[in-house]
Structure 1
Amino acid sequence: MAADSGGSNEPLQLEPFIHQVGGHSSMLQLDKDTICKPLIPRELNFYKSAPDSLKEFMAEFKGILEVTFSEALDGYIDLTTYLPPTYKLSPSKTARKSSFSDNEKKYKHRIKLCQSGDIEIESLTYDDVKQTFEKCNNSKSQNGTLLNPWVLRCHKEQMKKLRNSSSKILQKYIMLENRVSKFEFPCILDLKMGTRQYGDDASLAKRHSHTAKAASSTTAVLGVRINGMQVYHQDSGRFMCHNKYYGRSLNYRWISQNFGEFLTRRYSSAI
């Protein structure tokens, strides 16, 4: 990043956020303290109009930026943006060069398109070797990877759009405080709250679909269901990961057991 108070004339590289446990769209990381979510107007309005009494419980809203997805000659995906003038860098960041600068190229994670049409998210440093994730849905464990399996799923969907475009795609994101940046092994629980899961503007087909999902899960009974989860186990040194399909399969007894596992085994942080 440029060493000034805000904005940048040089393109900056973002990375995939490796601790995403839920959601439909891929989340990115601008720097250690800032993550980026695809802009949804209703969500943007919430962050802009939230009352002060709620803000201490929320991630800080930092503004909007545009990200360009394009394929480089080496097969990697470049995630580039320009900092908006309103974005102010902290003194600790303005005092040093960015780890995303063209001169240093110290990417921690990059997305690569494979010849098969699949994608990989490569770890380009040794910092994350000690972070291993296992997908454990319906008691079935898979071999450990260096990121939550849901992250790969979300970025695969994003890359389908790139393959269907001529060369690049442009998408708007909101910048939010990275609430887990201070923790080495962040435990994260994504909950879907409320007994009604569709918006006022949802189509009739979407209302029927979401109502059926609510009726067959803990949503209808408890008004809450697990939408994604990762828990760090100190004894094995691994994250255990559950996705939304696992959450839908739980009854009210099993969901309480999962809450207990999260609260008693979590090592560092929950959001």
Structure 2
Amino acid sequence: LHLRGDNGECRVRDLVPFVHQVGGHTGMMKYDEATVCKPVFPAELHFYEMLTPELAKFTPAFKGVVHVFVQEEDDGSLSVRAYPIRSQHQTSTGPMYPSNGQVWVQTRQKKMTGKVPSCHSNKGQVLRSIETLPEFILLENLTSKFRSPCILDVKLGTKTYHKDHSEAKRQLHIDRDAATTTATLGLRLCGMQASKGSYKCRNKYDGRRLGKDGLRSALREYFSTSDEVRMELLPPFIEKLEALLQ
């Protein structure tokens, strides 16, 4: 991750919303073609920092952490700037911008646009996230090599609450789990986009409404072309899940 050039200047990046986000509680942004960034909770950051090589092959590469804040400019536009905290790997390089050593990443609100699948729009979510979670984690962009990436977000396990949740939030999760495929199948659809010429999308609310048959139908839809399931895609997924289980 290049924080400075040889002449001591800081590199500038335009951050834009990550248009292929299908799930999650906070908005993601694209740092460059190979890197996305998202607000990070301490527990999640600890997970990536302590990740063993055996588990790292199942996750996007961890590239570091930046501190992000929103600032209004003289012309009324909003800039998103980031101070480097620590880094792991190098990302692609960018244009140079004279700096006092503080400003690293910058974007204008007017640039927070892009061709977004019809069911996704996280611009407001990104700005709200920055207010409450100013630390952003840099992760490998797994969609960068695909023209029309198909993405599936599934929540695994038969319980989704955390030991640190309040009693009210814990009960909310227990009730939600009991009413969805989390209890019956041990997994629940949280988001999906599948390219069929145009994007077919489902969100977490769709996933909560799905029963066993509905979830099977959604998975069939994800692994299908317009008229048939692509059976050749299934073995690699199954093999990777079995390897993770071991």
Question: What's the TM-score, normalizing by structure 1?
Answer: 0.70
* CA deviation vs aligned residue, 1:182-225 (integer Å, no higher than 9, x gap): 11111111111111111111111011000111111111111110
> Contact 2:33–2:144 (CA<8 Å) still a contact in 1?
yes
Inter-CA distance 153–225: structure 2 relative to 1 (3 Å threshold): farther
Q: Does 1:134 align with 2:118?
A: yes
Match of 2:204 in 1: 244
For 2:169 and 2:224, how far apart are their aligned partners in 1? 37
Q: Does 1:189 align with 2:152?
A: yes
Match of 1:78 in 2: 79
State the AA in 2 paired with 1:89. Q
* CA deviation vs aligned residue, 1:77-116 (integer Å, no higher than 9, x gap): 32222445645535xx34xxx2x6669xxxxx9645xxxx
* CA deviation vs aligned residue, 1:145-187 (integer Å, no higher than 9, x gap): xxx24x246236448x4xxxxxxx8811111111111111111
For 1:101 and 1:238, how far apart are their aligned partners in 2? 37
Instruction: Indicate the SS of the match to 1:25.
Output: coil
State the AA in 2 paired with 1:207. R
State the AA in 2 paired with 1:209. L
State the AA in 1 paired with 2:223. L
Match of 1:205 in 2: 168
State the AA in 2 paired with 1:154. Q
Match of 2:139 in 1: 176
> Contact 1:32–1:178 (CA<8 Å) still a contact in 2?
yes
Match of 2:35 in 1: 34
Residue from 212, 219, 236 that aligns with 1:259: 219
For 1:226 and 1:85, how far apart are their aligned partners in 2? 34
1:9 Cα deviation from its structure 2 partner: 2.7
> Contact 2:11–2:97 (CA<8 Å) still a contact in 1?
no
Match of 2:180 in 1: 217
1:12 Cα deviation from its structure 2 partner: 3.7
For 2:218 and 2:158, how far apart are their aligned partners in 1? 20
For 1:187 and 1:156, how far apart are their aligned partners in 2? 26
State the AA in 2 paired with 1:42. A
Inter-CA distance 250–87: structure 2 relative to 1 (3 Å threshold): same
Instruction: Indicate the SS of the match to 2:219.
Output: helix
> Contact 1:8–1:82 (CA<8 Å) still a contact in 2?
no
Inter-CA distance 36–2: structure 2 relative to 1 (3 Å threshold): closer
* CA deviation vs aligned residue, 1:236-271 (integer Å, no higher than 9, x gap): x31122110110000011101101111123999x9x
Q: Does 1:50 align with 2:44?
A: no
Once the two structures are aligned, what percentage of the paired residues are identical?
Answer: 35
User: Whose helix fraction is larger, Structure 1's or Structure 2's?
Assistant: 2
Q: Which runs of 5+ in 1 are unaligned?
A: 104-108, 113-119, 136-147, 162-168
State the AA in 2 paired with 1:253. D
Q: Which runs of 5+ in 2 are unaligned?
A: 99-106, 238-246
Instruction: Indicate the SS of the match to 1:133.
Output: coil
State the AA in 2 paired with 1:208. Q
